[in-house]
Structure 1
Amino acid sequence: MNFFFILNGKSLKNVSLILIAAFFTAWFLYIENLSQIPVFSTKDGAKAIYRGEKDLALTFNIGWGDEKAEPILDTLKKENIKSATFFLAGSWAEQHPDIIARIVKEGYEIGMLGYDYVDYMDLEDAKISRDISKAQEAFKKLNVKDIKLLRAPTGHFDERTLKIAKRYGYTVVHWKIDSKDWQNPGVAKIVENVKKAEKGDIVLLHASDSAKQTAKALPLILEDIRQKGLKLVSVSEMITNGEVHSEEVR
């Protein structure tokens, strides 16, 4: 017995849209997983740090937005947290000099997140260099000195990024624990993700406006860290105080 399926134009269009959506969803998940592959150093010594030997480092990325950075700072102050590292896009920093001044005044470390928050994997070497140089100038005008740390804006990097960063005198910093707060999965899930953190880990959090639940999750995260007896340090303190871990880019 033969069966024949007849699709009209509207049905065919709906099927096509579903297939296209499925493709882009799969591609996004693939790219996101790529950023977690531990490819963190080159044969000539250029490297990215993703964890240390002891203590714990909370890092906050800010690429855009006006509303979420200050609640994060308010929570850190209320919880008496003295050490954290903020990776900031130069373009965002230029637009928020008061928040930059507050971060510096309250003693938190600042690292660079490039200038335009673009994926370095998509750029030619010269454009990566230009983005880093532009960020340098932005922070210089804001009187933020001695920045030594750089994080690839989207978390994606390769051997080229490591070598260019080294040429500029920066250490590239990745992370071991991704809170996935940028997905807004719920406060409980963000806390659960960070609970995986152990001694020596670098934790990725966000203070951009896209991360709508981080400020509410942060007190619970800090409570868990205290219960574990872990000491919070900046990334630079972690690098200085012990061995750091990296793996070769192949």
Structure 2
Amino acid sequence: MRRLYIVDMKKQKKLFIIVPIALFVALFLFLEFNYSSTVFSNKDTPRALNKGNTDYSSIALTFNISHGDEQVIPILERLQTEGVRATFFVSGEWAERHPDILEQIAEGKHEIGMLGYQYQSYVEQETEAVRADLMKAKDTFTKLGHEDVYLLRAPNGHLNEDIIDIAENQGLKVIHWSVNPNDWENPGTDKITNHLLKNVNNGDIVLLHASDSVKQTEKALGKVIPEIKSNQTFLTISELITQAETTQEELRSQKK
């Protein structure tokens, strides 16, 4: 006995549309929150720094700030209490609005890096617009008395070779990350804490946030920092870079 199968083409057409869209969204989210670059550029390939020297028991805490002024203060107080220096990547717009907090960051011996000026994805802009945004950001920090800012984290972490080329031509070093607990989602203090304690290893660059939308990061730091300090040292990004460069120099000397 033959069976007759009837296919609803309207439903099939919907599936043909929905499935590719779902796959695209999944890929976009994966790239946005899990993309990781490798090391600094060499002669052939522009790259960003996402990890320091794994031979040393040191890591770098980094914080992105693009809006608000409420969460950053408790985080700064927590870092001071724990005796930890970090690197804060802030947008030029935010720096203009909060020059007093920018000074607090600097006075706490923390390092300042930039997130560009407007904090808009660079991969969605023309190269000239990216170049102009970086120049405006550099001018902004200079006017605020921080002319030595040379570290750049691309807005949303979106990068390609052209963006790294543009940044390096302006004397900037592009910094990514290797550990990201997605604290901006406020998944719970315990989840942020557990993610960090399970995943942080020597040389890691940790991505955290200090904008007002982040509600659980400061409490997580209170649990995480003492644990990590028992095994690793906290460094700024520049210190992490210097450590790696010193090791390279030592290796060259040994070869001679």
For normalisation by structure 2, the TM-score amounts to 0.82
CA distance in 2, matches of 1:236, 1:56: 12
Q: Who is 2:252 aligned against?
A: none
- CA apart distance, 1:241: 1.4
Q: Who is 1:227 aligned against?
A: 230
Q: Who is 2:118 aligned against?
A: 116
CA distance in 1, matches of 2:100, 2:24: 39
Q: Who is 2:166 aligned against?
A: 164
Match of 2:206, SS?
A: strand
CA distance in 2, matches of 1:37, 1:46: 10
CA distance in 1, matches of 2:47, 2:37: 14
1:59–1:84 contact (8 Å) kept in structure 2: yes
- CA apart distance, 1:40: 6.4
CA distance in 1, matches of 2:28, 2:70: 27
- CA apart distance, 1:233: 0.7
- CA apart distance, 1:242: 2.0
Q: Who is 1:213 aligned against?
A: 216
Q: Who is 1:29 aligned against?
A: 29
CA distance in 2, matches of 1:37, 1:241: 19
**Count of aligned residue pairs for this structure pair:** 240
Q: Which amino acid aligns with 1:92?
A: W
2:36–2:50 contact (8 Å) kept in structure 1: no
- Describe the superposition over 1:101-130 as per-residue Cα deviations: whole angstroms up to 9, x where unpaired: 111111110011101001111111111111
Give the helix-richer structure, 1 or 2.
2
1:42–1:159 contact (8 Å) kept in structure 2: no
Structure 1 residues 156 and 141: alpha-carbon distance in aligned structure 2, compared to 1, 3 A threshold: same
2:131–2:166 contact (8 Å) kept in structure 1: yes
Match of 1:203, SS?
A: strand
Match of 1:72, SS?
A: helix
Consecutive aligned runs of 4 or more in structure 1 exceeding 2 Å deviation: 1-6, 18-47
State whether structure 2 residue 144 is matched by structure 1 residue 142: yes
Q: Who is 2:97 aligned against?
A: 95
2:39–2:51 contact (8 Å) kept in structure 1: no
Q: Who is 1:126 aligned against?
A: 128
State whether structure 2 residue 70 is matched by structure 1 residue 71: no
- CA apart distance, 1:158: 0.4
Q: Who is 1:199 aligned against?
A: 202
CA distance in 2, matches of 1:45, 1:30: 23
CA distance in 1, matches of 2:97, 2:81: 25
Match of 1:154, SS?
A: helix
Structure 1 residues 106 and 31: alpha-carbon distance in aligned structure 2, compared to 1, 3 A threshold: same
Q: Who is 1:12 aligned against?
A: none
CA distance in 2, matches of 1:26, 1:39: 26
Structure 1 residues 25 and 213: alpha-carbon distance in aligned structure 2, compared to 1, 3 A threshold: farther
Structure showing greater radius of gyration is 2
For structure 1, list consecutive stretches of 5 or more residues without a partner in the other structure. Answer: 7-14, 245-250
1:47–1:171 contact (8 Å) kept in structure 2: no
Q: Which amino acid aligns with 1:79?
A: E
1:181–1:213 contact (8 Å) kept in structure 2: yes
Question: Which has the higher relative contact order, 1 or 2, with Cα contacts under 8 A spaced 6 or more apart?
Answer: 1
- CA apart distance, 1:240: 0.6
Identity of aligned residues (%): 44
For normalisation by structure 1, the TM-score amounts to 0.84
Structure 1 stretch displaced more, 68-77 or 20-29: 20-29
